[in-house]
Structure 1
Amino acid sequence: MSAHLAPPFRAEHIGSLKRPNELLQKRVEFDEGKITKEELQKYEDKYIAEIVKLQRDIGLKGLTDGEFRRHMFYDGVFDNLDGMTHVKPVPKEWFMPYVPDIMAFQELNFKNADTYVCTGKLKRTKPFYKDQFLGLAKFVPTEEVKNLKLTMCVPHWFHLRHGPYAYPKDVYKDDAEYFADIAQAYREELADLYSVGCRNIQFDDPMLAYFCAESMLKGMAEDGLDSDAILDLYIDTYNKCLSDRPADMTVGIHLCRGNFKDGRHFAEGGYDRIAIKLFNKLNVDTYYLEYDTERAGTFEPLKFLPPHKSIVLGLISTKIRKLEDEEEMEKKIRAAAETVANGDQKRSVEVALNQLCLSPQCGFASHSEGNQVTEEDVQRKLTLVANIAKRVWGTPA
């Protein structure tokens, strides 16, 4: 297997974890100007230390900070990138109605909506995630720093959402110029992260999963857009962002169909439409795939997985409190291995099984408020993931 495949581990979690109520309250106080950033950080540190201990006690190795220093999962890049401007309120026409979550938010009439749009040349003049990584690394022994997982925003987040309003034509003449500067910023960020010990990156990308949704494909076609060409553009942008990464930096991508507040999803559709490009043209090492409900389709697209890549099966739901059945989950994992083994590039079931891992289908709190689960539910769900991993592979590592 490739050197990139050190992470993921057999038992994984996506990244965000349930934030304690006290931390949520302190973030409100910070937003209202009642406490300083330094005071807020004390509470973030307190609870990150606790959540790291919880993950280690369960037996997980790909540790995260639970995204406790963020409000939304995609925070970090565009709010720190020169040339981006925060806009609130946002003109309704700036949101592309064919994007599945935009369709859902239309019901709210875009009340209190805010966003970032490009208003000048994009340039990285300060780190995006370095402080978050170092703020996590201080809670683990030096030898475990290489296992820490950092989640980050995808390069096309605002491009898909805003279409022709994503950047002014007097700043960038076309998408190629726009994404060239974004890719440069990501290359600089990854190099900076690598220099402080980061070896495990996960892009959180609902956007690629949206290309599986018939509703979006239909809406794009009605607007005269070539969805295949746009998907190719995004894959090419990823590859340019990652073109300089060191051989021992593992990169994964998490595809999600929506995880808003009460666990609401936004899109449906199997991976069949994008599987060949996803697994064979996108230069990442692993894929975190949602598979907790029928809306993600069957395992059939996994037949296109190359032998040098891995898949983390998101079979455990973060949206409901009920625990999944261990035996049923093992059967699904082995069924997925059979599909991989009998795919385009044949291999033994044992080899295919070793390309698979297990995780929840998404984070427990993609935004600060999180899903309708308790902190105790999070512990029970992650313990279940570790137990199933032991059952299938003999170890959660």
Structure 2
Amino acid sequence: MATTLVKAPFKADIVGSFLRTQAIKEAREAFANGEIDQAALNHVEDQEIEKLVQNEIESGLKSITDGEFRRGWWHLDFLAGLEGVDWFESEYISHFQGAKTKNTAIKVVGKVDFNDHYMLEHFKFLKQAVEKYGDGTQVAKFSIPSPNMLFTRIQGDEYYNGNTEQLVADTVAAYQKAIQAFYDAGCRYLQLDDTSWIDFVSDERIQVVVEKEGKDVQDIIETRVRCLNEAISKKPEDLLITMHICRGNFRSTYITSGGYDKISDAIFANLNVDGLFLEYDDNRSGDFEPLKSFKDGKTVVLGLVTSKFPELEDSESIKARIKEASESIPLENLALSPQCGFASTEEGNVLTEEDQWNKIKHIVKIAKDVWGTL
């Protein structure tokens, strides 16, 4: 991989989202009810994001995000901001164990493209806040959904009429523009969140996706690898791009279970990202054996600390699991994070803000113990 100026992922890193504060919740509700305008909502979001940035820095993090405070969903908000993509009301495509999301979905209504996306301003504000409150060792990190999330999760297609190859090609081109635009805005640490890989962690899900797409499973996997690799193929050398994979995260529930075995070569050897954030907080994610497909140069960030529940994991147990993983990947190529964000949607997981920050401080301390640095 190309050498990057940002030395990340950091040994103690984060996926990105944080629990929405009470002020954010009240402002978003008031906006939805027509009680305040967009400018008033933006003002509250700005204030709360600045507080969040300060809390992240005080907790010892070097990777600083805006907590996705301006979003309702971790992925749909960005995707709906692409040209040719619109919101519509429908039951959400992925079903969680024991919890139901809002009836919100996206559909393709025209040629997919990227042009002056509103989230560029979100990143610029974050970068300014990090520069204002940081000491120069912190980096503004921004997360957007992987290009795979568009063509695998749209619930309506009024333009391509099932021509997946053209949809993939246009999505790739749009993401190439997006990556350059975020870079031009000053982004040097970009994360692509990609839950489409959970389609291959269990035989049941594989059967569903094969029947839906009418292709061989290996062809489907190769298409997703190609889509992501082509999307990032023109990235500047000093832009670091990582990818996060999990099995669903909504109100402390999940979508499915299964290990990385069937996709180990695809994600560990064939994807050209600089690092991978992997869910590993319980046995739903399988063992570390698939990590042996690891390709030199990548950093694997082990999501060994759950963001779903408040209880703090035993430090020695986490250290033992890191040591176990180091039998497949050199310790210097490993890092530690929560298995996912604390609020992939605005509803958030079932824990308190105090619990959330205790988790972050726990991760920072363990990382310092294991690697001696962040």
Output the TM-score relative to the length of structure 1: 0.88
Within a 5 Å distance, the mapping from 1:1-397 to structure 2 comes to 2-4=2-4, 6-88=7-89, 90=90, 101-102=94-95, 113-141=103-131, 144=136, 147-162=139-154, 166-168=156-158, 171=160, 174-223=163-212, 224-261=214-251, 263-340=252-329, 352-395=330-373, 397=374
Tell me, what secondary structure is at the counterpart of 1:207? helix
Q: Which blocks of at least 5 consecutive residues in structure 2 are unaligned? A: none
Alignment deviations for residues 220-262 of structure 1 (CA, whole Å, 9 cap, x no partner): 344544332222111111111111101111111110101111x
Q: Distance in 1 between matches of 2:175 and 2:128?
A: 24
1:19-38, Cα deviation, whole Å (9 max, x unpaired): 11121111111122211111
C-alpha displacement of 1:44: 0.9
Q: Which amino acid in structure 1 is aligned with residue 25 of structure 2? A: L
CA distance in 1, matches of 2:152, 2:181: 27
| Cα separation, partners in 2 of 1:51 and 1:103, compared to 1, 3 Å | closer
Q: Structure 2 CA distance, aligned partners of 1:51 and 1:394?
A: 26
Unaligned runs of 5+ in 1: 341-351
Q: Which moved more, 1:15-24 or 1:356-365?
A: 15-24
Q: Distance in 1 between matches of 2:156 and 2:226?
A: 18
1:40-72 deviation line (CA, Å, top 9, x unaligned): 111111111111111111111010011111111
Q: Is the 8 A contact 2:190 2:239 kept in 1?
A: yes
How far does residue 103 in structure 1 lie from its aligned partner after superposition? 7.2
Given that 1:79 and 1:116 are in contact with CA atoms closer than 8 Å, whether structure 2 keeps it comes out as yes
Larger deviation, residues 263-272 vs 125-134: 125-134
For residues 177-222 of structure 1, the C-alpha deviation after alignment (integer angstroms, 9 at most, x for no partner) is 1111111111111111111210101111111133212221122344
Tell me by how many angstroms 1:175 deviates.
1.5
Q: Secondary structure at the match of 2:343?
A: coil
Deviations along 1:250-306, whole A, 9 cap, x unmatched? 111110101111x11111110011011111211111000000000100001111111
Structure 2 CA distance for aligned equivalents of residues 166 and 303 of structure 1 = 39
Displacement of 1:145 after TM fit?
8.8
Q: Which amino acid aligns with 2:200?
A: F
Q: Which moved more, 1:132-141 or 1:315-324?
A: 132-141
| Aligned AA (1:296) | S
Q: For 2:309 and 2:369, how far apart are their aligned partners in 1?
A: 23
* Cα distance in 1, alignment partners of residues 77 and 233 from structure 2: 21
Inter-partner Cα distance in structure 2 for 1:278 and 1:313: 14
CA distance in 2, matches of 1:324, 1:130: 36
Q: Percent identity?
A: 33
Does the Cα contact within 8 Å between 1:156 and 1:234 map onto a contact in 2? yes
Which stretch shifts more, 289-298 or 21-30? 21-30
More displaced stretch, 142-151 vs 63-72: 142-151
- Aligned in 2, Cα 1:128/1:277: closer, same or farther, shift over 3 Å? farther
C-alpha displacement of 1:166? 4.4
Whichever residue aligns with residue 368 of structure 1, its letter is E
CA contact (8 A) 1:172 1:178 kept: no
Map of 1:348 onto structure 2:
none
* Structure 2 letter corresponding to 1:183: V
For the aligned residues, what is the CA RMSD? 2.2
Instruction: Tell me: CA distance 1:13–1:276, structure 2 relative to 1, closer, same or farther (3 Å).
Output: same
Count of aligned pairs:
370
Q: Is the 8 A contact 1:276 1:304 kept in 2?
A: yes
SS at match of 2:35: coil
